[in-house]
Chain A
């Protein structure tokens, strides 16, 4: 088990426009044997710019959720441990703070107030014994109490406005309802309203639509897009659905076994996928109208994180592998092989000549018209 790269990368160039910058993050958990630890996140670098949507794609267990939770320091630290790395957060273009190092009180101010998170299961993510109003108002009062004139009535107004913004009809009577009285789509809207009530600059969305019907899925994603433009908000979107990525993402990071294996703008990823895993993901998507006898799947299974293969973690399943020593011995690092396109594969074009830099893509698409 090799530890991720550390001192060889140059410190981040101070590009003051990046909102969030994760550097060499590694998070570990104990295994059953208690002798070794498993690195759920193993040297992750990424950056998000204001109003940008970064999609993190990968299968279950690749470390995407832990990365998002680490941003808010929500990984429980008795079992988990932040082995190394820094998460630089620069709200309002101010001086960056390392979220892993600030005090408990300061991170609580960030949670919900500057960075908000929504989760996969709206059914269980809301507290069943409090009304929706009580839960939203709790968030508001936590972060806005410093404001002059903020009292309970003011918080109610904000809550009503938040519910209206997410498209819930008759918001003032909805405030008195309990979560179990709402449908799944409504609950997710409530979650979004609660997350956005305090005007965060970054929203972490951990598979927000996976548990919902396809039609509701489309509505929720459209809502997120609209809110993003009206509020000048950046989004870290975790998903395993490439269709969602195509419609919503500006930049894509593909994760495998706790590492980022490819990082580029959405156009580059879709038009020119370089990593065999990314290519496998695209190849396994069925296309309507395509004639095939058999769907293409990536052979093999996701490896047990406690028992990763040596060298490149993907090599046992890689159909491009030629049995070359580098794949089996050296862990490939994330290297910039083309303009704003990083990949971690020994056999990628331009890998040997590429530059070892931290991935950083400020690209944003033009505002998508509401459809």
Chain B
């Protein structure tokens, strides 16, 4: 098993290489090239001032190097084994060195710092959404299979398909417009993760002299209601249909018939025998759920002004910030591939017929 995991981890490298290379070269070859936005302000300056600024940027961020060099330099930077970059810009000795994600020239901060602030927020959003989606989808899928052909099955089938077709942008705009607006029902905040005085709140809700104090936890939860609602509604359709299909198929399988012939009750046949076997396709699919949610959170973060990875990525793309874009691609790709690996391992645990030895 360990050799399998090692092999999979090693195989990730060429894929990540390919992905980052593709994105980088598209960015570099596009009009404006790398760092295009940095040079926007040059149009308003005098000629020699503009030239001086451009020279400074080029020297500082190596913007005028050939594209391949820039990519190679970045590769060198992130690998633990490479040429040590010296302060004056040249390269030193070859050996082990700490990998470094670089410095964002559009935000003026190290990339690692930016992502270490943004990543936990996005992960929190997604990790809250996934259990909700799975629970609702699995329960409704099982019930739909149990009562297949009846009203519940038809209604959930069409209902979830309709929910899936609702664009996230529309849902977000409608939710904010009607539920978070002074003009209509102002029940929820329109954006952000916490209220402005959040840092000074106590963690748990309490009663104080001024009355009921929300506390940081409740306040954060209140802010998360609408964004999470936006993220989960579309996920039910696919998973529910998958569960329903798997359960239906297994309900008429031979081993279910054997279990009934043994005297197992219908409920136990469903929950103990059939469901365990139906989990398998769900696990395979789980590999794609998290990356899909990462995408969904880009839009949600943008609409609700949540400072997560999605917002960071959009800003990076607008600015054509080389380091930020590459780091974002790397992290996104890494997360996706990790999810696939985790799903494969979970599948091996769940299905005794599969072994990677």
Contacts and interface: CB of A to CB of B under 8 A. Distances in A.
A binds B: yes
Contact of A127 (B252, B255, B263, B265): B255
Contacts of B353: 128, 178, 180
A196 to B, nearest CB: 12
A126 B258 contact: yes
A138 B258 contact: no
Interface string A87-123: 0000000000000000000001111110011010100
B346 to A, nearest CB: 13
A76 B260 CA distance: 11
Nearest to B258: A125
Interface residues of B, number: 20
Nearest to A110: B263
Interface in B241-265: 252-255, 257-265
B352 interface: yes
Contact of A129 (B259, B263, B276): B276
Contacts of B276: 127, 129-130
A113 B263 contact: yes
Contacts of B351: 128-129
A108 B259 CA distance: 11
A194 interface: yes
A112 B257 contact: no
Contacts of A56: none
Interface string B26-58: 000000000000000000000000000000000
A74 B352 contact: no
Given A125-B254, A126-B255, A128-B352, A72 B277 contact: no
B9 interface: no
Interface in A8-22: none
B350 A74 contact: no
Nearest to B276: A129
Nearest to A115: B261
A129 B254 contact: no
A254 interface: no
A129 B253 contact: no
B260 A111 contact: yes
B349 to A, nearest CB: 11
B100 interface: no
A142 interface: yes
A48 interface: no
Contacts of A125: 254-255, 257-258
A138 B262 contact: yes
B277 A119 contact: no
A81 interface: no
The DSSP consensus for interface residues of chain B is: helix
Nearest to B279: A129
Contact of B262 (A124, A129, A194): A194
Contacts of B253: 124
Contact of A139 (B262, B273, B277): B262
A191 interface: yes
A121 B350 CA distance: 24
Nearest to A194: B262
Contacts of B264: 108, 138, 142
A74 B252 CA distance: 11
A139 B194 CA distance: 55
B260 A74 contact: yes
B201 to A, nearest CB: 48
B20 to A, nearest CB: 40
Contacts of A108: 263-265
Contacts of A138: 262, 264
B352 A116 contact: no
A85 to B, nearest CB: 20
A117 B255 CA distance: 12
B261 A117 contact: yes
A119 B258 contact: yes
Contacts of A110: 263
A111 B255 contact: no
27 contacts: A74-B257, A74-B260, A109-B263, A111-B262, A111-B263, A112-B261, A113-B263, A116-B261, A116-B262, A117-B261, A121-B254, A124-B253, A125-B257, A127-B273, A127-B276, A127-B277, A128-B277, A128-B352, A128-B353, A129-B276, A129-B352, A138-B262, A139-B262, A142-B263, A142-B264, A178-B352, A194-B262
Given A124-B255, A127-B258, A130-B273, 16 more contacts: A108-B264, A111-B261, A111-B262, A116-B262, A119-B254, A119-B257, A124-B253, A126-B258, A127-B273, A127-B276, A128-B277, A142-B263, A143-B263, A178-B352, A180-B353, A194-B262
The 9 closest A-B CB pairs, nearest first, are A111-B263, A112-B263, A124-B254, A112-B262, A127-B255, A117-B261, A125-B254, A178-B352, A139-B262
Interface of B: 252-255, 257-265, 273, 276-277, 350-353
